[in-house]
Amino acid sequence: MKILVLGRGKTGALVAEFAKERGHEVRSLGSSDNQDGRGLTPEICRETDVAIDFTTPLAVIPNIIHCMESGVPMIVGTTGWYQHLAKVQELVTERKTAFLYGSNFSVGMNFFFKAIQAVAPALKKGYRSNIVEKHHIHKKDKPSGSAVTIQKILEADSGQRAEIASLREGETVGMHLVVLDSPHDTLLFTHDAKSRLGFAEGAVRAAEWIKGRIGFYEFPDVVDQV
């Protein structure tokens, strides 16, 4: 495929590298050549099979609008923009294109979400929940998108809204700790990312999956298929 990577940061660079290893033709646009989505010209969009976005909360919305209006399927790993989710879904439906987003593209993390969903009923049996997330000092959004996803999973089952503690330290890739505590025992669930390569691999596999499809998807719903 012809893949357009939006964002030349650490994760974007790994996405481009992994996509090339998978045999795809890759083009990248950084912030300097894509201010407000202006780098997404009709010519570039015509030559793109799928776009993968790992930018910033401010940059991602113009990128989404340009890609959807041009009919370019899109994978979005950027977080911090979910207040616009309903409007983006409307745009995807209106343009009859394909869009897949995720708070975390690590395959392991998405199975971690499923594990949390499996134990969430414990909150109806006297357990209380807390979430701790730790990331590198450069991360723009707080709390992390993954922590918010975990919070929603727990709340959907019990009605309890877990508190999230956010830490920013050094170059930490990403650690999430979920604590379910009762007077009798404590359950601890941890996902600790070793490198960003897991995010890159998941995003590229999602791009391969979405080609030829139409619709609005979230990565946890399709992780078993990529």
Q: Which residues are catalytic?
A: 135, 139
Contact 129, 154 (CB under 8 A): yes
Contact 113, 205 (CB under 8 A): no
Tokens of 193: 């990312």
Q: How many whole angstroms separate alpha carbon 216 and alpha carbon 99? A: 5
Contact 103, 193 (CB under 8 A): no
